[in-house]
Amino acid sequence: MPRGRYSLHDPHDHTPLGDEHFHCAPGPSGWRYVSRITAPAGITTPSGDDAGSVDLALDELGRPIRLQLLAADWEVRGAALDGVTWVRTDPTGVHATEGNVRAHAFTGTSPAFLVAITRLLRLTPASPATRVRLVAFTDPVLAPRTVDQSWALVNSEAHATDNGPLIVDEYQVSALDTGEQHTVHLAGDVVLAAPGIELEDLESPPSPLA
């Protein structure tokens, strides 16, 4: 069961956004990721304050069967249902809204979503670039928006470790509305590097993509 910590920052100006303390594991029905997000130190806010959480469970095909996000007093619960369906609510419930989009999955700031997309697409280096429609929840108020991306697995390399070879996959991700491209490096169910994400600590080896 991989367990560790990611540091999160704005991919454009590198402003620290906090740390995400996570653990994840495959299971008989798919894969689950749970994390707690802590805020960066500020003028009036000490580091380590709770800033949100992520609980994402996938089925054996990589579809999101349960999503719960908490951030800035907002909560989102969602799942794959007639595309993807979600409820977004504030603490009082007065501003609760429901949404449904003919999309494949969810995305957001958490590294969990990058792993989830790769488990959904199951790309190989020989696969053509694959288009995927996602509902992105934007921090800090988890506002939903629909985005279209193209994913391609451009390289897969084995690296020797004390626990045997570690397969590192390099994905090229393109935003289809702007043409902007970026690279994501993963080893199994752990993100090694991606825009706005750095792996700082890892207590156990990644689980391979089943």
Residue 209 domain-assigned (yes or no): no
Residue type at position 13: D
Report mean pLDDT in 10-residue bins for the chain, 210 residues. Answer: 94 92 90 95 64 96 96 94 96 88 97 97 94 95 96 93 86 95 97 96 87
Closest CA to 71 of 45, 46, 113, 38: 38
Domains held by the chain: number: 1
- Judge whether 210 lies within some domain: no
> What is the DSSP pairing of strand 130-138 with strand 105-107?
parallel
Dihedral (CA of 39, 43, 44, 46) sign: positive
Q: Using an 8 Å Cβ cutoff, are 71 and 142 in contact?
A: yes
Which helix (H) or strand (E) segment holds residue 137: the answer is: strand 130-138
Instruction: Indicate whether 7 belongs to any domain.
Output: yes
Residue 126 lies in a domain: yes
* 44 in any annotated domain: yes
Q: Are 191 and 6 in contact (CB under 8 A)?
A: yes
Instruction: Give residue 43's pLDDT.
Output: 43
- Examine residue 121 and state whether it is found in any structural domain, yes or no: yes
Alpha helix stretches (DSSP H) within 20-163: 111-121
Confidence (pLDDT) at 41: 72
The residue type found at 117 is: I
What span, in angstroms and rounded, lies between the C-alpha atoms of 113 and 125? 21
Which range of residues forms the domain containing residue 99? 3-204
SS3 93: coil
The answer to whether residue 115 is domain-embedded is: yes
